[in-house]
Structure 1
Amino acid sequence: MRVRHCVARIAATMALGIGSATLTTAAYAQAIDAGDYVPAPDGTQLGLVYLQYSHAGALYQDGKKIDDEAELETAISILRYVGFTKIGGMTFDYQVLQPFGHLAGGGSTASLGKTTGFGDTILVGTLWLHEDAERQSYFGVTPYLYLPTGDYRASRALNLGENRWKGSLQAVYSQGFGKHFIAELSGDVMIYGKNDDAGVASDDLTQKATVRIQGFARFPLDDRNELNARIMHVTGGETKINGIEQNNVTRTTSLLGTWRHNFTPKWQIMTQVGADVAVRNGFKEGFRGQIRLLRVF
């Protein structure tokens, strides 16, 4: 029991030090889907609904598994609006994302508790600096702004909101090779504002920048179906609580497979399955699944 209590305390400290929403929901905007950087025509509007579920069944510290009974379960839904226009002859999209969902600790980390609520609202805009449909070549840059609007309570170990501002800049290049293969590469850097109400003692939480690299291999099968695979690596993000380093740098590598199907020119469904393959600190996801519905207006 003493060992289990110690592990639960470490998990709670990680949830505070990393930011509980970062453990579970902060990746939904930055972790893009293959094909997101192929622009739609001017005037196009998209409505999307995401249904995400993940289960983590192990806890790591300094690259070593310290508990294989630690559990963290997440069920997240996201509503997303995207509109396309032209600025100076270049395509620009403007987006709003609103997540909400449920988080729950289990097993040896059941003491983390559970929570349900809204996540932080995300404002996004992409500008395509290069687009050549004939050569299947695209390059775009995207700033993200996370607003501290989500449900947050300092006394909880798990929160959907983060009680801080965040910003990120992402760049993506997409290049097609014939009819049945497309390669895409994405990179982004995220910076974090201060959470001045972290934990029951209203501690100050600061966090170093994180860097994310994503690589995609896309395989269009026909006009209605595509298979693709993604590898993603996230590093950085070490936190300080009241100026004291927590030694919890993030180094996580994950894999994700996707099948995308167009029912009609206006309706699309996407299903995804993935998992973490390497984790330095925190929970390791053994399973992640997502369904995305898209409607073109």
Structure 2
Amino acid sequence: MCVPCALSGMAAAAEIATDPGDYAALPPGVDLGIVYYQHTERNAFHSGGDRVPGPFKLKTDIGLLRYVHFTKLGDYVIDPQIIVPFGSVSLKEPASESSSGVGDPMLGGTLWLVNQPERKQWFGLSAFASVPVGNYEARKGGVNIGQNRWKGIFHAGYVTALGDSFMLDFILETAVYGKNDNYAGQTLKQDGSHSAQAHLRYLVSPQTHLALSYFHDIGGETKLNGVAQHDRMNNNRLLATFATFVAPDLQLQVQGGQALNIENGWKESSRLNLRVVKVF
């Protein structure tokens, strides 16, 4: 899972970008402690599908601390969890501004309606709430770690085997937003956003996999004091993954990728994600 968007109120990407294998349930009683690091660089800005002339440079370095507990609710496996983002966002061009600190924590989890590990098939529904208690300075507008607004994020995720060596994960996301009543002295509202996420995994061994992921994000137009900003998303990107267990209870993952097409907003020129998972 990647960090929620660090650009407060700017339509940019899926609110929760899943990782390959996220929707394969683990047995009740298992706990996960996960640390993420994400570095992204954006050197172009697009409006109406066209690149806007002029210098643009935005860099983010974001971390996540995540705790997941697998348990049962009646006959169903669930995984209540908490996610705490932190890090920095730095705008260099066309202006200079930066922000750092702890972002808005997220509370939620998944309920698996289909949990058939013997057939390598799962289907789960997730709900998360982003609580607006992170670092936020109104004068910085979109260059903030916190967002000064509530968010609800909802997923439906399906995983299935494709033969003996491949797995397919497919996730749909919908996000809804509360208003930010102090966005550089203005009121920010945002339409709901939607994302389709697909991961094709190749199982090198029981401990190691490679994956190629595709993300497509739409919607999420913003309004400032009731004036539409014409920044509706219709964006996509690719991400490659290598993950392996270096010990029975320790997994390392590295990812790299970039944006393909951007209708409105910042275009991501490069992304590096690192993840460490400790199984308890």
TM-score > 0.5, shorter chain as reference: yes
User: Could you say which residue in structure 2 is the equivalent of 1:170?
Assistant: 155
What is the CA–CA distance in structure 2 between the aligned matches of 1:64 and 1:55, rounded to whole Å? 19
Distance 1:123 1:45, change over 3 A: same
2:123 to 139, 160, 167: 139
Specify whether residues 261 and 22 from structure 1 end up closer, same or farther in structure 2 by C-alpha distance, changes over 3 A only: farther
Partner residue, 1:118 = 102
Normalised to the residue count of structure 2, the TM-score between the two structures is 0.94
Cα distance in 2 for partners of 1:126, 1:73 equals 31
1:250 pairs, out of 219, 233, 241, with 233
Secondary structure of the residue aligned to 1:20 is coil
Residue 23 of structure 1, CA deviation: 5.0
Classify 1:19/1:269 alpha carbon distance in 2 versus 1 (closer, same or farther; 3 Å). Answer: closer
Name 1:20's counterpart in structure 2. 7
Whole-Å Cα distance in 2 between the matches of residues 22 and 246 of structure 1? Answer: 11
- What is the rounded CA distance, in whole Å, between the counterparts of 2:17 and 2:166 in structure 1? 21
Choose which of 160, 168, 174 in structure 2 pairs with 1:189. Answer: 174
Whose radius of gyration is greater, 1 or 2? Answer: 1
Task: Say which of 187, 193, 210 aligns to 1:210.
Answer: 193
TM-aligned CA deviation for residue 30 of structure 1 = 1.4
CA contact (8 A) 1:218 1:227 kept: yes
Pairing partner for 1:98 from 84, 88, 91: 84
Q: Which runs of 5+ in 2 are unaligned?
A: none
Deviation of 1:178 after TM superposition, in Å, equals 2.6
Distance 1:137 1:68 in 2: 49
Residue identity in the other structure for 1:248: D
1:25–1:76 Cα contact (<8 Å) kept:
no
Q: Which amino acid aligns with 2:27?
A: P
Task: Report if aligned partners of 1:203, 1:242 keep a CA contact under 8 Å in 2.
Answer: yes
Instruction: State the match for 1:241 in structure 2.
Output: 224
* Match of residue 268 from structure 1: 251
List per-residue Cα deviations over 1:177-228 (Å, max 9, x = no partner). Answer: 23210111100110000101111xx211110000000011110100221000
Maintained 8 Å contact 1:34/1:216: yes
Tell me the alpha carbon deviations over residues 101-121 of structure 1, each in whole angstroms, 9 at most, x when there is no partner: 011112x32x24111111110
Q: CA deviation digits over 1:21-43, x for unaligned, max 9?
A: 3559974x610001011111111
Look up the match of 1:45: 31
TM-score, length of structure 1 as denominator length: 0.89
CA 1:289 to 1:23, structure 2 compared with 1: closer, same or farther past 3 Å?
Answer: farther
Residue 125 (structure 1) shift: 0.9
Is the counterpart of residue 73 in structure 1 residue 59 in structure 2? yes
SS at match of 1:21: coil
Instruction: State the 1:132 CA deviation.
Output: 1.1
Amino acid at match of 1:170: H
CA shift for structure 1 position 68: 5.8
1:237–1:112 Cα change, 3 Å: farther
Q: Per-residue displacement from partner, 1:119-141 (whole Å, max 9, x unpaired)? A: 11001210000111121110000
Closer/same/farther in 2, CA of residues 285 and 68 from structure 1, 3 Å limit: farther
Q: What CA distance in whole angstroms lies between the structure 1 residues aligned with 2:253 and 2:9?
A: 24
* Correspondent of 1:153 among 137, 144, 151: 137
Q: Counterpart of 1:131 in 2: which secondary structure?
A: strand
- Percent of aligned pairs with the same amino acid: 34
- For residues 111 and 167 of structure 2, the distance between their equivalents in structure 1, rounded to whole angstroms, comes to 20
Provide the secondary structure at the position in 2 that maps to 1:155: helix
Superposed CA RMSD: 1.7
What's the counterpart of residue 202 of structure 2?
219
- Could you list the runs of 5+ residues in structure 1 that have no partner in the other structure? 1-17
For residues 144 and 44 of structure 1, the distance between their equivalents in structure 2, rounded to whole angstroms, comes to 20
8 Å contact from structure 1 (residues 183, 218) kept in 2: yes
